[in-house]
């Protein structure tokens, strides 16, 4: 697969693999064996960039990645994240914790679960309103100096926070949701990333599967958190599905799937954009990564924007 450079020199495959779904976000978690087959299958097909977090599972996602790449650590780029308070018996909704001491604790625990001596890209998963970002960035800067971390990343933060953090420790990548149906970052965030030379790692480039045209309320499995998302329910679903139908017509003319068109659109937005679509099936992964070879002309991009206008999606990003 083609490679891209994030920020100050982190080389990754043009499309990475978001690993959240392997550990149970969309239905039951995969076994270690099945997750390993999926992860190594992705590597065999050219993916070198794998995105996980202590929150995924929690902890299971890192264990899956660590076990899958044991003995071949130097061949892959692993990103993981800190920033949540994960309490025993209460894996969700427990609040934030980016205190320097906690960042170090998470780093050591993540290294053990990943079975490695370094984390290539260490993200602050979400900002902590109780901890100045300068302290966060300074702690990661020290971990980089110690060789435990390669690069500093941030996720879902605003312009001012990025500037403050970058002044202390160079931010290599920002991870935020971005796709044809979620374009909030275009107004202020993306111009700032270009100004500062920070790479962009869009998660959910397929709109949590919606942009493939294969997701319906009936196909979402029990326990899948999308059942509570406004965009997937009732009239909102019907109106959003009409947008995807228009996109399907463009994809048919290009001779590709709607999902491939959606990923190729993200890739076309910037040379340092590296989307990380998630999947649990190798056939879907093969479809996703083929988007890296799909060339879109200016006319193609204009046609996509006409079919799927900015701001046309009904419903918020998360829950009602």
Q: Which of 134, 11, 29, 140 minimizes the C-alpha distance to 82?
A: 140
User: Could you give the CA distance from residue 112 to residue 149 in angstroms, rounded to a whole number?
Assistant: 13
Here the tokens at position 29 are 């978690």
User: Could you give the CA distance from residue 107 to residue 193 in angstroms, rounded to a whole number?
Assistant: 26
**Phi first, then psi: what are they for 219, rounded to 5°?**
-90, -10
User: Could you give the CA distance from residue 104 to residue 302 in angstroms, rounded to a whole number?
Assistant: 47
User: Could you give the CA distance from residue 172 to residue 81 in angstroms, rounded to a whole number?
Assistant: 14
Q: Which residues, in sequence order, are bridge partners of residue 80?
A: 122
- In the numeric block, the tokens 């993916």 are attached to 47
Q: Which residues are catalytic?
A: 56
- In the numeric block, the tokens 């170090």 are attached to 104
Q: Which of 17, 15, 19 minimizes the C-alpha distance to 2?
A: 15
Residues sharing a CB contact under 8 Å with residue 76, sequence separation 6 or more, in sequence order? 43, 48, 49, 50, 69
User: Could you give the CA distance from residue 265 to residue 178 in angstroms, rounded to a whole number?
Assistant: 11
> For residue 77, what is the enclosing H or E element?
strand 77-82
User: Could you give the CA distance from residue 4 to residue 267 in angstroms, rounded to a whole number?
Assistant: 10
DSSP strand pairing (149-155 vs 119-124):
parallel
Q: Angle formed by the axes of helices 100-114 and 60-68, to 10°? A: 40
């Amino acid at each position: 697969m083609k490679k891209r450079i994030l920020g100050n020199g982190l080389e990754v495959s043009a499309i990475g693999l978001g690993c959240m779904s392997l550990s149970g976000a969309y239905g039951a978690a995969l076994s270690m064996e099945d997750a390993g087959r999926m992860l190594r299958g992705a590597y065999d097909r050219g993916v070198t960039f794998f995105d996980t977090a202590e929150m995924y599972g929690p902890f299971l996602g890192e264990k899956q990645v660590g076990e899958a790449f044991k003995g071949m650590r130097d061949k892959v780029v692993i990103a993981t994240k800190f920033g949540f308070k994960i309490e025993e018996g209460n894996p969700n909704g427990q609040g934030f914790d980016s205190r320097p001491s906690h960042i170090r604790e998470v780093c050591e625990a993540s290294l053990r679960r990943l079975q490695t001596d370094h984390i290539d890209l260490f993200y602050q998963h979400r900002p902590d309103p109780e901890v100045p970002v300068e302290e966060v960035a300074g702690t990661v800067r020290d971990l980089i100096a110690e060789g435990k971390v390669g690069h500093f990343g941030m996720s879902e933060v605003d312009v001012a926070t990025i500037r403050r953090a970058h002044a202390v420790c160079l931010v290599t990548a920002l991870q935020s949701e971005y796709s044809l149906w979620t374009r909030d970052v275009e107004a202020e965030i993306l111009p700032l990333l270009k100004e500062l030379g920070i790479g962009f790692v869009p998660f959910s480039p397929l709109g949590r599967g919606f942009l493939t045209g294969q997701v319906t309320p009936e196909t979402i499995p029990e326990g899948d958190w999308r059942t509570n998302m406004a965009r997937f329910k009732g009239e909102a679903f019907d109106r959003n599905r009409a947008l995807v139908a228009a996109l399907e017509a463009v994809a048919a003319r290009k001779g590709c799937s709607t999902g491939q068109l959606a990923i190729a659109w993200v890739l076309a937005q910037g040379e340092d954009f590296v989307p990380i679509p998630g999947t649990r099936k190798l056939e879907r992964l093969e479809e996703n990564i083929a988007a890296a070879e799909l060339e879109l002309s200016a006319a193609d991009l204009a046609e996509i924007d006409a079919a799927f206008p900015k701001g046309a999606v009904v419903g918020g990003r998360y829950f009602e």
